[in-house]
Amino acid sequence: MKIDNYKPDYLVEAVYQLDPKRLQALNVRAVMVDLDNTLIAWDNPDGTPELLAWLLDMRENGLKVVVVSNNKQARVARAVEKFGVQYIWRAMKPFAWGIKKALRLLDERPENVIMVGDQLMTDIRAAHRAGVRSILVKPLVASDSWSTQVNRWRERRVWKKLIARDDEPVWKTSL
């Protein structure tokens, strides 16, 4: 396992702290975002006012947003269709398949897109495989679905290796 495959390009507390002007300064035209514990809490599919404000800010500044999730279509559709957000379901992260499909949907090149997620083992690894920059956010809630708990165990081991190689990660309050 090559540890650099799991190292995010940026660390940000929450997806809602991504500033469209700063993203545009990084030549980002579209944001791919994981669903559960990144965009919304996994146990609250209805979203929050903060989510609505963030999506509006992205749209008003010309940034496209697409959800790239490993969940089933019904779960993702229920969570995001009411917000008018496009999505890729059953993305098969950590493989690049879902991200590449989202690139085609957005009609964007990898260098103009950034992937945001809360898991090193799926979101960040898939971004690396697809040649897309990545942002790791802290999970919105401390609990996870049962299927994510295994990844969290592996993720803790990878974090220890990343920290041993580099300094302690610095979480930014905005990007």
Predicted confidence at residue 36, as pLDDT, reads: 87
CB 83 within 8 A of CB 55: yes
Q: Which residues contact 69 (CB under 8 A, 6 or more apart)?
A: 34, 35, 36, 75, 76, 87, 88, 89, 90, 91, 98
CB neighbours of residue 162 within 10 Å: 17
Q: Tokens in use for 59?
A: 């749209």
* Burial track 87-125 (b if 16+ CB lie within 10 A, e otherwise): bbbebebbebbbbbbbbebbebebebbbbbbbbbbbbbb
Banded model confidence at residue 31, pLDDT cuts 50, 70, 90 = very high
pLDDT-derived band at 174 (thresholds 50, 70, 90) equals: low
DSSP letter string over 107-128?
Answer: T--GGGEEEEES-IIIIIHHHH
Q: For residues 126 and 40, what is the distance between their CA atoms, to the nearest angstrom?
A: 20
Mean pLDDT of the chain: 86
Q: Which amino acid is at 14?
A: A
| Alpha helix ranges (H) inside the chain | 20-25, 49-60, 73-80, 97-106, 125-130, 146-165
Global confidence as pTM:
0.87
Paired residues of 162 in beta bridges? none
Q: Report, as an integer, the average pLDDT of 32-57.
A: 86
Give the pLDDT mean for 39-43. Answer: 81
Centre a 10 Å sphere on the Cβ of residue 137 and count the other Cβ atoms it contains: 27
Provide mean pLDDT across the span 133-145.
Answer: 78
List pLDDT tens digits, range 98-134. Answer: 999 999 999 999 999 999 999 888 999 999 999 999 9
The whole-angstrom separation of Cα 32 and Cα 114 is: 6
pLDDT of residue 123: 95
Chain-centre distance for alpha carbon 127: 9
